[in-house]
Copies of this chain bind each other. A is one copy, B any other.
Amino acid sequence: MSDKINRQIVLASRPNGEPSDENFRLVESSCPPVADGQVLLRTIYLSLDPYMRGRMSAAKSYANPVEVGAVMEGATVSEVVASNNKQFSPGDKVISYTGWQEFGLSDGSGLRKLPADLVDIKAALGVLGMPGMTAYMGLLKIGQPKAGETVVVSAASGAVGAVVGQIAKLRGCRVVGIAGVKEKCDYVVNELGFDACISHKEQDMAAQLQKACPKGIDVYFENVGGAVTEAVWPLLNPFARIPVCGLIAHYNAVELPAGPNRVPAVMRDVLTKRLTLRGFIVSDFMSEQAEFVAEMGDWLKQGKIKAKVDLVDGLENAPRAFQGLLRGENFGKLIVKVGPESAN
């Protein structure tokens, strides 16, 4: 395979604020040789997710940043094209973390074979993958919604938010989404069965949200931060649970507010309303993954969960797609198609 060309997107420089084209660079190299124990993977689908913005910054979050010059990280659905590892054979399709490149090497650790009966392998990056599990764990383990309660989810039409709202409906909750453009709102209401959806582009978002939540908010699934959170905050009921999953409105922020007063005002609300604020990362719940896979699998088979995919064709379009993602321009789970589902 070493005569093949491998195209990769590397981090050219760290963004200051919103990432731009200059922060990425497409490079070509020859496919690396496959050492003993390794497999060579051909990327089929690369998942793009908001968390990647964090990896572009130098600051250590829960994961290390991508080094400048290194391949951008990301989950993929890949096919084994060469194997020096007994556990994998050419033709196997796997979830891998080989990132933004056409070919990648793996020693097999962290690779997960896709179930043979999976009709749509893209689902392994969406509703059956990390975003779906994020929604499931965050809502059920932290949010703990009860029938009759009001659940609000921001980025409602996104990969995580759409699943959150649907599970909450299955649990008998009133579900109110917050999204951008009208068509996203229409989608989550008309197709996913949300009870209401507010556009955060409306001047009177806060008033609309209040009207849509006449009994207040019991669970706020946080994907956004910023003005959306500010609109939600006063409506939180005592004992409200807030799974803090993402803060996409801040990922491009150059600097966060600081100073002696930034913590206490929040603390006061946490106290008087006995809020539970608890951030989480899906990997915190790895030990409960089997439960998720089983239940979500059933829901999908029964058509109780829908998943929308925003498919972008071609690795070279990934940077632009990702920038759009941070501006909310995608619609559904954003996935880049890097190559065909079957090798020629």
Contacts and interface: CB of A to CB of B under 8 A. Distances in A.
Interface of A: 61-62, 222, 225-227, 229-230, 233, 238, 244-247, 249-250, 256-258, 260-281, 284
Nearest to A264: B225
A296 to B, nearest CB: 22
A208 to B, nearest CB: 18
A253 to B, nearest CB: 8
A265 B260 contact: no
A278 B279 contact: no
A61 B246 contact: no
B263 A270 contact: no
A263 B232 CA distance: 11
A270 B277 contact: yes
A48 B111 CA distance: 60
Given A238-B62, A260-B230, A264-B256, A281 B277 contact: no
Contacts of A245: 271
Chain A at the B interface: SS class: mixed
B62 A264 contact: no
Nearest to A256: B265
B225 A267 contact: yes
A266 B225 CA distance: 10
A326 B317 CA distance: 60
B226 A260 contact: yes
A262 B260 contact: no
Contact of A277 (B61, B233, B250, B277): B277
Contact of A271 (B246, B257, B272): B246
Nearest to A233: B263
Contacts of A265: 256-258, 262-263
Contacts of A247: 264, 267-268, 271
Contacts of A262: 257, 261-262, 265-266
Given A247-B264, A247-B271, A278 B276 contact: yes
Query: Which of A61, A271, A276 has the most chain B CB atoms inside 10 A of its CB?
Result: A271
B275 A264 contact: no
Contact of A222 (B233, B257, B260, B267): B267
A264 B276 contact: no
A136 to B, nearest CB: 17
A244 B265 CA distance: 13
A81 to B, nearest CB: 37
Contacts of A263: 225, 229-230, 233, 265-266
